[in-house]
Structure 1
Amino acid sequence: MSLAIPAAWIRVALLMFAVGWGANQFSPMLIVYRHELGLGPGEIAGLFAIYAATLIPGLLLGGALSDRVGRRACVLPFAALSPLATLLLILGPHDLALIAAGRALAGLCSGMVFGPATAWVLDLSAGDAVSARRAALALSAGFGLGPVVAALLAQWAGDPLVVPYLPHLALGAAALAVGLTAPASPRPARAQPVISSRAASDAAPSGADLAGGQARTDPADGAGQSAGRPAAPPAPLRTRAFWLGVAPAAPFVFGTASLAIVVLPEEVTSAQSLSAGYAGLMTALAFGAGVGIQPFARRLAGRSPHGGIIAGLGCAAAGAAVSIAAVAQVSRPLAGVAAVLLGLGYGLSLVSGLHQAERLAGPRDRGAVVACYYVLAYLGFAMPYVADVLNAPLGKPGTFALLAAAAVILAGLSWLRGSRIARAGQAAVKADRTTWAAAARRGGRPEVRTAARPRSGA
């Protein structure tokens, strides 16, 4: 294989790594702000909410926009703004308004970069499970190393409100310089016809190999949509394959990570003894495990699309179960074991979910589909708030027990639905290919039928 191809996707992956670093370096700094500025729980929650308030719109806008104007036009400007968001945090270490502005800009940059950049990496890659792992690895490495380095510098370097942010300024500038040389995504081939309502709604990712390995794409969606025509969600986002096969487990991606790096450190330490260094250690354990499992997750996703999600949910359930003992005994070693298990769940779920989203999407709507998946995955960052609400009626061990049970139930449902949908999808795809071939022999085109709207509770 020519070295030019991997060199291309690596340049884009470096941008994802740098923006991910800048997005998550703030996590251990919340502890520093709590101690140094005397911030209360409401102010800490507000800083997180500001980030989420700009992240979600950025994801929704960036993915669809990149399908229309190109990946470079979306990614590069906001990759350049990411270090500026960090600069705001440096310029106003004691100014809550500047800190909030920095977090808001960081959230917008993350949203506008993560979806389009993931699609860009997939465009420049081989189009199999390896491409999903490349994007997941770049994002996970940034998410993991950013807070670890920030925590170490905050714990042992001088000026804990400024020094931890300096590495991201250099990294962001270097990544942008490299990313500017990345080639644009190849122009997609003419879109394949949409498969029938049954196939579009029932086919699982494992059955999405329709024509030359390309998943279904609606010619009316994505690039080339006529001006003035109302934008419709891409065809894959109107299928049960996405909403029942991919979406339910997506919040567990960052839900498991947030349990490991936010909830557990607080549950096994007191507010006075919780340090940025310990938070950094828990982050290193969780994201280290998440990155380490991704090669296996890639192979598992290639063999069994639903298998990776089931394995990820299983690790999430095991991590929550160990967390019960860690919280009950206030044990830091057990919390570390739980962080590793939760990190494994994060890595397996992220790679498998991205792989399924990629298989469902075509090149013309890949950005929007991946961005929608990230939106669902980012809902998991609300897990600390969910845990806090559940602690009152259930107690801390009861909260983790409920989360473990939810993961087990979802894993079982995913296994059952995966088996049924795979069989139905293969039959439906075969029927649609037959219809298309018959129409082609007649010299015409079969009627293009859009995907049925998912039925509630289906």
Structure 2
Amino acid sequence: MTRRAPSADTSHHTSDQHAGSRSNDWLPIGLGVAAVGWGANQFAPLLLMYRSELAVSAATVQAAYGVYALGLVPGLLLGGPLSDRHGRRRVMVTALITSMAGSLLLIVGGQALVGLFAGRLVAGVASGAAFSAGIAWIKELSAGTASDPGPGARRATVAMTAGFAGGPLVAGLVAQVAPVPTASAYVPHIALIIVAIPFTVRATETRTPNPDVALWSPLRLPARSARRFRRVALPLAPWVFGASSIGLAYLPGSAADRMGNAVLLFSAMVTAATMISGILVQPLARRVQHPTKPSSITTALAIVVAGLLLGALSGAHPLLVGGSALVLGAGYGCCLVAGLTEVHRLAGSHNLASLTAVFQAVAYTGFCVPYLLAVFESALSPAVLLCVTAVLAGFTLAWTVREAVRNPPDDPASGVPADGARKRV
């Protein structure tokens, strides 16, 4: 697969800038990533409100939720290479400003449906650029070891998930109690962006701007690592946000008719529970990691299957919606850490941002899952749809575990592929 990626001889990594950096140097970037993540998910608990305010179908509001992924993919694919060319800071600051513009468009969307689609699209572009450059930036400021390459992955996951959790919780609470909820719900995000920008501007840069870095060169890995990326990391990727988006955007609707005037509060609590669970599961995700066995992938996808099966029962009582959301959130957190750890294990320093971008681009296709479920509700019940989704997750579990055993990773630091060749991803 051809990718925009910097070549090894033209990418100037300023290791001297951060080799002696303090352990908390990643926190300003984490704040920026969290702020953009806040903007990415603040829309989720408001779906039921927009169905009422704009008199549109469930599929329409789910489409507005999912169009985020269409903006996110180019943001991801360009954000990594652009940050390799121009530096991490410039891309992150631009992404923060773009994220704020997305919220302003969503405020307009309270009166016109086109504003919702435009705002979500712009939020996706901002998120793609911020997550691609930001995750690489955090990793570069997080010292790892050969046996544990994952501190950067875990820190990036916590930063993203903190924003993913705070955004929907605060937006839903504000919409429940404040006047003009279609506008006031987005004010906290705008304020957070304004706070995050100066911290990001002053953060430690890890990449010297280099206009010679190519944006369209092939992304090459040792042949066995490329095969592992295609057959293990990429099949895992859609379940990262497929799991979380079901808990965020699909399950709350199954109990909406029983929540009365507290429906926005209920949606906010369910969406926040999904993301908070993704944060709290981090210690478990770390304990089950193994340098050679696919234990973290096995655990992550098994949790997703369990959450989907519990979700199939959630129509019986609202408490089951919350329980399923907690389990799916745990699956999201484990899948994201497992996937990013795979990426960090397979990538060299010269293509980390680009390989991260590819993984994230595929991961965010999971945002389309609630829309697909809403479309097929005309033919099948939500319980049946979630059971079918659980079967697909189980198949992915079996496939990725088999392929992980068959395709152990190369060491990207050695520069020597196990089978003597390098291939395009």
TM over 0.5: yes
State the match for 2:239 in structure 1.
Answer: 252
Q: Deviations over 1:324-356 (max 9, x none)?
A: 2223x2x11122111111111001000110111
Q: CA deviation at 1:406?
A: 1.9
Tell me, yes or no, if the aligned pair for 2:46 and 2:172 is still in contact at 8 Å: yes
* Aligned partner (choices 42, 54, 72) of residue 55 of structure 1: 72
Q: Distance in 1 between matches of 2:72 and 2:266?
A: 27
Mapping of 1:8-407 within 5 angstroms?
8-41=25-58, 43-90=60-107, 93-127=110-144, 128-185=149-206, 225=213, 231-235=217-221, 239-270=226-257, 273=260, 275-303=263-291, 306-327=294-315, 329=316, 331-407=317-393
Q: Distance in 2 between matches of 1:223 and 1:434?
A: 33
Q: Deviations over 1:291-348 (max 9, x none)?
A: 1001221232355562111111101111111122223x2x111221111111110010
Q: Deviations over 1:201-245 (max 9, x none)?
A: xxxxxxxxxxxxxxxxxxxxx995579xx6212437981110111
Q: CA deviation at 1:434?
A: 9.6
State, as a whole percentage, how many aligned pairs show the same letter. 33
Q: Distance in 1 between matches of 2:227 and 2:19?
A: 38
Mark the structure with the bigger radius of gyration.
Answer: 1
State the match for 1:450 in structure 2.
Answer: 422
| C-alpha spacing 1:270/1:241, structure 2 compared with 1 (3 Å) | same
Could you tell me which amino acid in structure 2 is paired with residue 295 of structure 1? Answer: P
Q: Distance in 2 between matches of 1:78 and 1:68?
A: 16
Could you tell me which amino acid in structure 1 is paired with residue 272 of structure 2? Answer: A
What TM-score do you get using the length of structure 1 for normalisation?
0.80
Paired residues in the alignment total: 402
Could you tell me which amino acid in structure 1 is paired with residue 302 of structure 2? Answer: G
Tell me, yes or no, if the aligned pair for 2:299 and 2:334 is still in contact at 8 Å: yes
Q: Distance in 2 between matches of 1:348 and 1:300?
A: 10
Q: Distance in 2 between matches of 1:380 and 1:140?
A: 16
Could you tell me which amino acid in structure 2 is paired with residue 387 of structure 1? Answer: L
Q: Deviations over 1:178-211 (max 9, x none)?
A: 11101111569xxxxxxxxxxxxxxxxxxxxxxx
| C-alpha spacing 1:375/1:364, structure 2 compared with 1 (3 Å) | same
State the match for 1:208 in structure 2.
Answer: none
Q: Deviations over 1:145-203 (max 9, x none)?
A: 10011001111222211221111111101111111101111569xxxxxxxxxxxxxxx
Tell me, yes or no, if the aligned pair for 1:294 and 1:347 is still in contact at 8 Å: yes
Q: Considering only aligned residues, what root-mean-square deviation do their CA atoms show, in Å? A: 3.1
Q: Distance in 2 between matches of 1:53 and 1:416?
A: 31
SS of the aligned residue for 1:235 comes to strand
Q: Distance in 1 between matches of 2:414 and 2:19?
A: 35
Tell me, yes or no, if the aligned pair for 2:75 and 2:128 is still in contact at 8 Å: yes
Q: Distance in 2 between matches of 1:255 and 1:180?
A: 33
Tell me, yes or no, if the aligned pair for 1:310 and 1:415 is still in contact at 8 Å: yes
Deviating more after overlay: 263-272 vs 12-21 = 263-272
Relative CO higher for 1 or 2, CA cutoff 8 Å, sep ≥ 6?
2
Tell me, yes or no, if the aligned pair for 1:23 and 1:143 is still in contact at 8 Å: yes
Tell me, yes or no, if the aligned pair for 2:273 and 2:329 is still in contact at 8 Å: yes
Q: Deviations over 1:17-63 (max 9, x none)?
A: 00110111111222222222323345424423543322211111112
Which sections of structure 2, spanning at least 5 residues, go unmatched? 1-17
Which sections of structure 1, spanning at least 5 residues, go unmatched? 189-221, 436-447
Tell me, yes or no, if the aligned pair for 1:123 and 1:186 is still in contact at 8 Å: no
Could you tell me which amino acid in structure 2 is paired with residue 245 of structure 1? Answer: V
What TM-score do you get using the length of structure 2 for normalisation?
0.85
Q: Distance in 1 between matches of 2:342 and 2:411?
A: 19
State the match for 1:193 in structure 2.
Answer: none
Q: CA deviation at 1:287?
A: 1.0
Could you tell me which amino acid in structure 2 is paired with residue 365 of structure 1? Answer: N
Q: Distance in 2 between matches of 1:108 and 1:428?
A: 30
Tell me, yes or no, if the aligned pair for 2:87 and 2:208 is still in contact at 8 Å: no
Could you tell me which amino acid in structure 2 is paired with residue 450 of structure 1? Answer: R
Q: CA deviation at 1:395?
A: 3.1
SS of the aligned residue for 1:126 comes to coil
Could you tell me which amino acid in structure 1 is paired with residue 199 of structure 2? Answer: V
